[in-house]
Amino acid sequence: MEKEAPLTAGYCAATGTYSSCHPPIAAATAESFPEYLFRRLLRFPTDLPAFVDASTGASLSFPDLRTLSLKAASALSALGLRRGHVALLLAPNSLHFPVISLGILSLGAVLSAANPLLTPAELADQAGDSEPFLVLTTAELAPKLISLTASRVVLIDHLLARIDDHGTWACPTPDDICRDDPALLFYSSGKTGRSKGVVSTHGNAIAAASFLEHWWRRDDGSVDVFGCVLPMFHMWGFSSFVLGTPAIGATAVLVPGRFSMDKLMAAMEQHGVTRLLAVPPIVVQMVKVAAGEPFATSKARLCLREVVSSGAPLQREHMARFRRCFPLVSLKQCYGLTETTGIVTTCNFPPLAHNGDDGVEFSNEHEPSSISIGRLVPSTEARIVDVESGEALPPGRVGELWIRGPSVMQGYLRREEATAAALVRSASELEQAGKWLRTGDLCYVDSRGLLHVVDRIKEMIKYKAYQVAPAELEDVLAAHPGIHDVAVAPYPDEEAGEIPVACVVRKPGSHTLQARDVMSFVQDKVAPYKKIRKVVFLDSIPRSPSGKISRAQLKSFLRTCTSTATGTEMHGAAEPQGNLHTGV
């Protein structure tokens, strides 16, 4: 059986490469993403909405999406936007976000999206790096752009007035757009420093949409209704709802404004949402409110069949609670980066048969079980590379994940050194083989070809000569009945170098939980070098909107902490940084 494992995992020992177990997708003939998409939009029923705004009931049909996008291109062309120019879009989710995005791409211009939550200084930094020809924004967000003097700021309402004008308009058809032209300029989250501009081409966008089209297409010809709460300025939301759902003729129900579980549930029930794309905090909130009487009543009326989470790992306990609350709803994870223009792994990708345990793999007796992020999407390859030696590793071994495929970025904008460090080619490979993207994530592939994320390379705790993954310990601690939230971070130690410290948020009613209880809970579940050495109790764990733990903020806070006389519990300084406060 052991001899068959590498073959089952899609692993080739001769090359050290894992291949997708799914048949490759035939390359599209389109040269630009709008060309790829607009052909499809003409096939769909005219009475079927492409987008619905749940807050107003307004909708946009597939033919209207195409027509309005081309009108937007005409209006933008009249403003001087041309092929190769960058257009920065600063706006929340709305029916107009995909229209303006596709209008920009139709001209051969480059779309760069920005988070409306960024400060004026952060927006100025991003604009200074991307050098946009135009900035498109709302009246509410325009004051944040007061310092942008090098770019013309256009209010979206004014642009829409041009689009709504029923006068003559010219349909721009730049024939010279090609697949290698830059299409998207999205910014990475900057986990290892300042955010970098990720350049994705039209070919990358087409490949990303093709993956989703094959993943989401149902054998019986039915089409899902998608719940859209993901921000379209983020690659997970953009690839799903601007590249993906329009390409398959699926309806996306937008739930704009500040996130509210009540608004989301009402929209899902009213519009018959069958698939929800989410981030871990949304999954956690769904579980929390499931115990309430009104929600329990409406839950039975939901059409929801699947929730797909990405952006950060879901802890096992949260997945288990979700399945108890929603036994008829499939919960899966997928994995992608800004640098991969969307997802590159997913669970339950057809044509493989569905397996209820497809996302959970129990490893050997010495390690806790791990939740999978699925298998490689078609036409995509991976390597697991030893961080120290650079050796390609077989199934079951942990190393850095490298990805190669048609959706991998062109590079970082004006960052030659960063691009060279991220995109590499093995010395033995031919030029046409393509470069590998170094993801910075520690992963392993199991015998079934399922990929598992262990942690970020730069977040590993170095305890003596051992490496300890914070995410593994967080997964163990999340199962404690008295712990509401938890994060593990390193703390300097003279003898060990670093020790693992658990930052714990107690559940209501668990005020008696002590540091020794937390430490003993972990002690028998992990190897000795992985044990929690100290504990600090907090009111909250700092997290990003996607649910990622803000480890830099935690590390900074822990440097202000001091130990008790027993040496097991730590207490924060009088003025803890950020929103961290020690528990009472």
**pLDDT tens digits along 182-196:** 999 999 864 445 679
Residue at token pair 């390409």 = 247
Label residue 434 left, alpha or beta by phi (over 0 means left) and psi (-120 to 50 means alpha). left
According to the model, what pLDDT value does residue 566 have?
Answer: 55
Lowest mean pLDDT among 372-376, 450-454, 493-497: 493-497
Give the pLDDT confidence of 502-540 residue by residue, as tens digits.
999 999 998 899 999 999 999 888 878 889 999 999 999
From the list 293, 249, 286, the residue with the least C-alpha distance to 264 is 286
Give the number of other CB atoms < 10 A from CB of residue 276.
27
* 396-417 per-position pLDDT tens digit: 999 999 999 999 999 999 999 9
pLDDT recorded at residue 175: 64
pLDDT tens for each residue of 134-151: 999 999 999 999 988 878
How far apart (Å, rounded) are the C-alpha atoms in residues 485 and 318? 11
pTM value?
0.81
By C-alpha distance, which of 293, 211, 225 is closest to 255? 225
Confidence at residue 358, expressed as pLDDT on a 0 to 100 scale: 45
Spatial distance between the Cα atoms of 120 and 142, rounded to a whole number of angstroms: 10
Task: List the beta bridge partners of residue 276.
Answer: 227, 307
Q: What is the pLDDT of residue 297?
A: 54
CATH: 3.30.300.30, 3.30.70.20, 3.40.50.880, 1.10.3720.10. Which one for 466-571? 3.30.300.30
Whether 355 has a pLDDT exceeding 90, the answer reads no
Is the model's pLDDT at 3 over the cut of 50?
no
Q: Tell me the torsion sign for CA atoms 237, 241, 242, 243.
A: positive
Strand-pairing partners, residue 570, are 536, 563
The per-residue pLDDT for 579 is 33
- Split at pLDDT 50, 70, 90, the class of 122 is confident
Domain coordinates of the chain in residue numbers? 23-441, 466-571
Which pLDDT value is given to residue 127?
A: 94
* Percent of the chain topping pLDDT 70: 84
- Kindly state the average pLDDT of the residues 490-510: 87
Strand partners, 549: 543
Q: Is the pLDDT confidence value at 17 over 90?
A: yes
Given a cut of 50, whether residue 574 has pLDDT beyond it is: no
Where does the pLDDT of residue 361 fall: very low under 50, low under 70, confident under 90, or very high at 90 and above?
A: very low
| Residue 364: per-residue pLDDT | 33
pLDDT over threshold 70, residue 220: yes
Q: What is the pLDDT of residues 269-310, one digit of tens each?
A: 999 999 999 988 888 888 888 766 555 556 656 899 999 998
Provide the pLDDT for residue 363: 34
Q: What is the mean pLDDT of residues 110-114?
A: 97
Taking only the tens place, the pLDDT of each residue in 61-89 is 999 999 999 999 999 999 999 999 999 99
Question: Are the C-beta atoms of residues 182 and 201 closer than 8 Å to each other?
Answer: yes
Q: Which of 106, 237, 216, 220 is nearest to 163 (CA)?
A: 106
Tell whether the model's pLDDT for residue 369 goes beyond 60. no
Average pLDDT across the chain, whole number: 85
Compare 97 and 122 and report the one with higher pLDDT. Answer: 97
Band of pLDDT at residue 555, cut at 50, 70 and 90: confident
pLDDT for the residue numbered 435: 92
pLDDT mean over 340-357: 66
Superfamily of chain region 23-441: ANL, N-terminal domain (3.40.50.12780)
Alpha helices in 242-327 (DSSP H): 245-248, 261-271, 280-289, 293-299, 316-325
* pLDDT per position as a tens digit, 413-452: 999 999 999 999 876 665 556 899 999 999 999 988 899 9
Please tell me the predicted confidence (pLDDT) of residue 23: 86
Question: Quick one: which H or E segment has residue 184?
Answer: strand 182-187
Q: Which residue has the higher pLDDT, 214 or 36?
A: 36
Greatest pairwise CA separation for the chain in angstroms = 79
